[in-house]
C-alpha cells in the first residue's frame, strides 16, 4: 500500500509541475525559458517523443508499452529489497512514480513534457522533469543497494568458518 501511495504521490507531483510548466512557459509567441538560478537553472518548456538523451525518437508507443511492463515488475521486485538499509525502502516508490508520471504524458499527450534545464551557457544537460528525477534517483539507489548487498554477502562468506572435519566433512549448502 505504501508503494502505491508513494508512486501515485510522485506521479501526481510530476503531473502538477508539468501543468505549471505548460501554464507559465508557453505564451502567444510559443515556448519560452525562465531563469530560476541565473543561467545555471532555467525552466524551459520542451516536448520529448523519445527516451532520455533523444534515444528512440518518436518511440512513444514502444516506450509506453515498456512502462506498462515495468510497473508490475516494480511491485514484484520490491519484495526482494533488503529494507534494513533505509534508502532501499525508497526505490520502489521512486521508480513507480517516475514510470507513472511519464506514462501518463505518453498516453495523454503522445509526448513527455520536460522543463528542468540545467547547465552553463551553451553547455546544457538535456531537459528533464520530476518523473525523470525520481526514476534516476531510484535507479542509482537500486545500483548502490545491489553493490552493498553483494558486498555484505561477500563479507559474510569470507567470515564464515570453513567446512571441515568439525562438521563431519559434509558439504554445506551455498
Distance of alpha carbon 142 from alpha carbon 32, whole angstroms: 35
Q: Could you give the CA distance from residue 89 to residue 69 in angstroms, rounded to a whole number?
A: 21
Cα 142–108–139 angle (5° rounding)? 5
The catalytic residues are: 114, 132
Express the helix, strand and coil content of the chain in percent, nearest 5 each.
60, 15, 25
Of the candidates 125, 153, 134, 146, the one whose C-alpha atom is nearest the C-alpha of residue 11 is: 134
Distant-in-sequence, close-in-space partners of 30: CB < 8 Å, separation ≥ 6? none
Amino acid at each position: 500500500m505504501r508503494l502505491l501511495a508513494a508512486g501515485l504521490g510522485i506521479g501526481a507531483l510530476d503531473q502538477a509541475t508539468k501543468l505549471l510548466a505548460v501554464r507559465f512557459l508557453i505564451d502567444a509567441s510559443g515556448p519560452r525559458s525562465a531563469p530560476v538560478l541565473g543561467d545555471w537553472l532555467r525552466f524551459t518548456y520542451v516536448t520529448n517523443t523519445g527516451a532520455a538523451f533523444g534515444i528512440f525518437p518518436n518511440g512513444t508507443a514502444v516506450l509506453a508499452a515498456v512502462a506498462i511492463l515495468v510497473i508490475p515488475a516494480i511491485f514484484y521486485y520490491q519484495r526482494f529489497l533488503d529494507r534494513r538499509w533505509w534508502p532501499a525502502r525508497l526505490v520502489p516508490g521512486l521508480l513507480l512514480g517516475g514510470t507513472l508520471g511519464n506514462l501518463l504524458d505518453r498516453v495523454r499527450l503522445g509526448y513527455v513534457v520536460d522543463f528542468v534545464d540545467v547547465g552553463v551557457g551553451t553547455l546544457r544537460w538535456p531537459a528533464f522533469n520530476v518523473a525523470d528525477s525520481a526514476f534516476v534517483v531510484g535507479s542509482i539507489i537500486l545500483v548502490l543497494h545491489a553493490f552493498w548487498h553483494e558486498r555484505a554477502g561477500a563479507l559474510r562468506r569470507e567470515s564464515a568458518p570453513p567446512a571441515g572435519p568439525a562438521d563431519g566433512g559434509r558439504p554445506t549448502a551455498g
